[in-house]
Amino acid sequence: MVNSAKELIYDRFITPTRKSRINYIGIEIEMPIINLKGIKNDKAFCVDAITKAIRHFAFTPVKSDNDGICYEAICKDTGDVFSFDCSFNNFEISLGKVRTLHEAQARFKDYVSYINATLNQQEHTLTGLGINPNYKINDFNFIASPRYKMLEGYLKKSTVWQQKNDFHAYYGYGTFSSASQVQLDVSESKLCNIIKAFSLAEPLKAVLFANSYLPDRPQWLCSRDFLWENSTHGINPKNVGFFEPVPQTTNELVEYLCQTSIFCTERDGKYLFFYPIPFEDYLKREYIEGEYYDGKYHTYKFTPQKEDIAYLRTYKQIDLTARGTLEFRSACTQPLSQAMTVAVFHLGLMNKTDELIQLLTTSFLYQNGESPAQLRQKMNRTDFLSFVNPNQLKALLNDVLRLCSDGLQERGYSEEIYLRPLLHRAETLTSPSVYLLQNNTQKIIKEYASL
> How many CA atoms lie within 13 Å of 287's alpha carbon, on the beta-carbon side?
7
160/436 Cα distance (integer angstroms)? 35
Q: Are 300 and 274 in contact (CB under 8 A)?
A: no
166/169 Cα distance (integer angstroms)? 9
pLDDT at 18: 92
The 8-class DSSP code of residue 425 comes to: H
Closest listed residue to residue 308, CA positions, set 2, 5, 1: 5
Give the residue ranges of DSSP H helices in 24-100. Answer: 43-56
35/89 Cα distance (integer angstroms)? 10
Which residues does residue 369 pair with via DSSP β-bridges, in sequence order?
none
Average pLDDT on 119-128 reads 98
Strands of 36-179 (E only): list them.
60-64, 70-74, 81-84, 90-98, 124-126
Task: Supply angle C-alpha 102, 434, 46, rounded to 5.
Answer: 60
Residues 245-290: tens digit of each pLDDT = 999 999 999 999 999 999 999 999 999 999 999 999 999 999 999 9
Work out the number of other CB atoms within 10 angstroms of the CB of residue 289: 11
Residues 375-433: tens digit of each pLDDT = 999 999 999 999 999 999 999 999 999 999 999 999 999 999 999 999 999 999 999 99
Q: H or E element: which one contains 432?
A: helix 432-437
Which CATH code for domain 11-249+315-449? 3.30.590.20
206 has pLDDT over 50: yes
Task: Supply angle C-alpha 323, 327, 329, rounded to 5.
Answer: 150
Peptide bond into 237 cis (omega under 30): no
Cα–Cα distance list, 154 to 52, 238, 271, 349 (Å): 33, 18, 11, 36
pLDDT at 369: 94
Residues 192-204: tens digit of each pLDDT = 999 999 999 999 9
Residues 224-235: tens digit of each pLDDT = 999 999 999 999
The residue type found at 39 is: I
Mean pLDDT score across all residues of the chain? 96
Cα–Cα distance list, 201 to 225, 345, 360, 409 (Å): 15, 11, 7, 20
Work out the number of other CB atoms within 10 angstroms of the CB of residue 109: 15
Q: 362: exposed, middle or buried (C-beta count within 10 Å: 0-12, 13-18, 19+)?
A: exposed
Residues 297-321: tens digit of each pLDDT = 999 999 999 999 999 999 999 999 9
> How many CA atoms lie within 13 Å of 291's alpha carbon, on the beta-carbon side?
17
Using CA of residue 230, residue 231, residue 237, residue 238, what is the dihedral sign? negative
pTM of the model: 0.96
pLDDT at 1: 41
Q: Are 261 and 289 in contact (CB under 8 A)?
A: no
Q: H or E element: which one contains 113?
A: helix 101-119
| Domain locations along the chain | 11-249+315-449
pLDDT band, very low/low/confident/very high, at 2 (cuts 50, 70, 90) = very low
pLDDT band, very low/low/confident/very high, at 20 (cuts 50, 70, 90) = confident
The residue type found at 145 is: S
Using CA of residue 120, residue 126, residue 128, residue 133, what is the dihedral sign? positive
Strands of 282-421 (E only): list them.
288-293, 297-302, 315-316, 318-320, 325-328
pLDDT at 222: 97
Residues 152-205: tens digit of each pLDDT = 999 999 999 977 668 999 999 999 999 999 999 999 999 999 999 999 999 999
What residues contact residue 405 under an 8 Å CB cut-off, 6+ apart?
Answer: 348, 416, 419
3 has pLDDT over 60: no
